[in-house]
Amino acid sequence: MASSMSAATASKTFGSNATFSGDVKEAIAFKKTVVSTKRSMREMIITNVATRPPVSMPVTESGQPETKLAAWTSVRQEKWEGELVVEGEIPIWLKWSRLWHIGDYNFRHLFDGYATLVGLHFENGKLKAGHRQIESEAYKAAKNNKKLCYREFSEAPKAENFLSYLGDLASLFSGASLTDNANTGVIKLGDGRVVCLTETIKGSIEINPHTLETIGKFEYTDTYSGIIHSAHPIVTESEFLTLLPDLIKPGYVVVRMEPGENERKVIGRVDCRGGPSPGWVHSFPVTEHYIIVPEMPLRYCAQNLLKAEPTPLYKFQWHPESKAFMHVMCKATGNIVASVEVPLFVTFHFINAYEDKDEDGRVTGIIADCCEHNANTTILDMLKLQNLRSFNGDDVLADARVGRFTIPFDGSPMGKLEAALDPNEHGKGMDITDMLNACGAERPCNFPNTLTKIDLVNKTAKNWYDEGAVPSEPFFVPRPGATEEDDGAVISMISDKNDEGYALLLDGSSFEEIARAKFPYGLPYGLHGCWVPMK
């Protein structure tokens, strides 16, 4: 039995920066990065084993080598694969198999990098790695034209004249001018297909988890005419669930897709209780019987979407007067069983949710955990590449916590939001990928820089930290036959000092290092991925 994991990052750029995602094939990791278009194709394809391509290290005015963090730079070539030298021992059961500039144009935000897949292939204690650019229409157009051609997260093509501007507006409303750069996440569908996603519906791209090659667009066969969806659907062996924000009649349509199908079927709809538009839904939680729809006061903004230059909150606006809500929908009927007001919140990622029950086994409410930024929208501005690249030692990372929502089923109009554990346990920094593992903070910093294992029962956290390094969001791979939830390996790709990087394996239980394997060069920061079992 072989298995693979894939991950995606959320940055797009033209220039010297990149992002990545991770997948394990016998283990494979996918990462999104950016490559310079000024190199020939022959220069951009290298295959070797445990070697490093020649690198000329920049020097400072004093003649000393200039340290460089690869996390915020573009991947240096479009494609690479090779075997890595391992320090330590890779468990024999472990098997799985961005680009921030184009031409002379440089993206400005972490979420704007063209997607690259990074694969880690574990087999018989050996590790092979590779990366490859996702062939989206946005990437190919930018590469061929040496300029931005589609609307990205924070960027829009410059109109040549007023008529072209009007044409761009028309294509915007139809979704034609929106990016298909699938740089946010990688999912494995119940039928085995592997799809990369972003928040535009057109940005759903199927890939080959063995070769990392782009297969083509994942086409939905239903007649839904929306242009955006949640970047993080809930995917199991039996279903695919996602939210489709309705920008015209503010609300959310909840849909389901079965394995082997491309048709989304409506479960139900939630109308917004606030306004003037639906809140951003980057992710959402579910339980066995319920779908939880968050309504955040950070709301989509049509006016900002129309603008060519980035606004302070990009495609969104902060509307605290519209309040914040959590809605609970029954999976089976589509009925709303609870809708409560909660304290204002800002979150990208939900962690987990479960049904709270009384002594008789009756569901009395929902508990939902997320990475919450204390209702502080400045986290978006902190993710500008300029801010990430210019860290001078000051502690500027916005505080974050594991926020716990309590949603009662007794008809109460109000729910709760409080910290699930002391934020000091993880340095008041948090970005989560699963129920156990996250990225925390070792202060001072300007970005989450630790790997963190959280224990919400004992209210503690364990942290791994390597000074000067930036870890990608970790992936947990359970050991075959495991009976404990943390029995397995935690995998992260590390962007290290001096333009270097390595793959890191931690023991899931002790959180101690098992092994590491050095990449031939540093890779850009990477976000979400998934474990893809391979037979």
- What are the C-alpha distances in Å from 374 to residues 184, 347, 418, 434, 456? 23, 9, 10, 20, 19
At 1 the pLDDT is 37
Confidence label for 102 from pLDDT (cuts 50, 70 and 90): low
Confidence label for 288 from pLDDT (cuts 50, 70 and 90): very high
- Position 2 in a domain: no
At 535 the pLDDT is 58
The tokens of 386 are what?
A: 């300029």
If one counts every other C-beta atom within 10 angstroms of the C-beta of residue 183, the result is: 41
- Position 434 in a domain: yes
The count of structural domains within the chain is 1
At 499 the pLDDT is 86
For residue 155, what is the DSSP state?
Answer: -
Characterize the bridge pairing of strands 460-465 and 475-478. unpaired
Range with lowest mean pLDDT among 91-105, 210-224, 438-452: 91-105
* pLDDT above 50 (res 37): no
At 306 the pLDDT is 77
The Cα–Cα gap between 134 and 111 comes to 15
At 419 the pLDDT is 98
The answer to whether 349 is a known ligand-binding residue is yes
Three-state secondary structure call for residue 169: helix
Confidence label for 43 from pLDDT (cuts 50, 70 and 90): very low
- Position 25 in a domain: yes
The amino acid occupying position 462 is: K
Closest by CA to 96, choosing from 231, 2, 193, is 2
At 502 the pLDDT is 94
- Position 184 in a domain: yes
Q: How many helices (H) and strands (E) does the chain have?
A: 5, 38
E strands within 56-180? 79-84, 86-88, 100-102, 105-106, 116-123, 126-133
Q: What does the mean pLDDT of the chain come to?
A: 84
Confidence label for 189 from pLDDT (cuts 50, 70 and 90): very high
- Position 1 in a domain: no
Residues 6+ apart with CB under 8 A from 512: 506
The torsion angles phi and psi of 458, rounded to 5 degrees, stand at -90, -5
Higher local confidence (pLDDT), 340 or 123? 340
Cα distance from N-terminal residue to C-terminal residue, the chain: 5
At 174 the pLDDT is 77
* pLDDT above 50 (res 7): no
Confidence label for 104 from pLDDT (cuts 50, 70 and 90): low
The tokens of 278 are what?
A: 């639906």
Predicted confidence (pLDDT) per residue in 468-477, tens digit: 999 998 989 8
Secondary structure percentages of the chain, helix, strand, coil, to 5:
10, 40, 50
Predicted confidence (pLDDT) per residue in 122-143, tens digit: 888 888 888 899 999 999 999 9
Range with lowest mean pLDDT among 39-43, 156-160, 292-296, 340-344: 39-43
Provide the edge-to-edge strand list for the sheet that holds 416-419.
347-357, 363-372, 401-408, 416-419
* pLDDT above 60 (res 399): yes
Q: Which whole number is the average pLDDT over 152-162?
A: 83
- Position 348 in a domain: yes
Predicted confidence (pLDDT) per residue in 231-274, tens digit: 999 999 999 999 999 999 999 999 999 999 999 999 999 999 99
- What are the C-alpha distances in Å from 282 to residues 224, 231, 421, 500? 19, 5, 23, 31
Which range marks the domain in which residue 347 is found?
Answer: 7-532
Confidence label for 91 from pLDDT (cuts 50, 70 and 90): confident
The Cα–Cα gap between 458 and 468 comes to 30
- Position 471 in a domain: yes
- Position 425 in a domain: yes
Higher local confidence (pLDDT), 529 or 524? 524
- Is the C-alpha dihedral spanning 107, 303, 370, 245 positive or negative? negative
Q: What is the pTM of this model?
A: 0.86
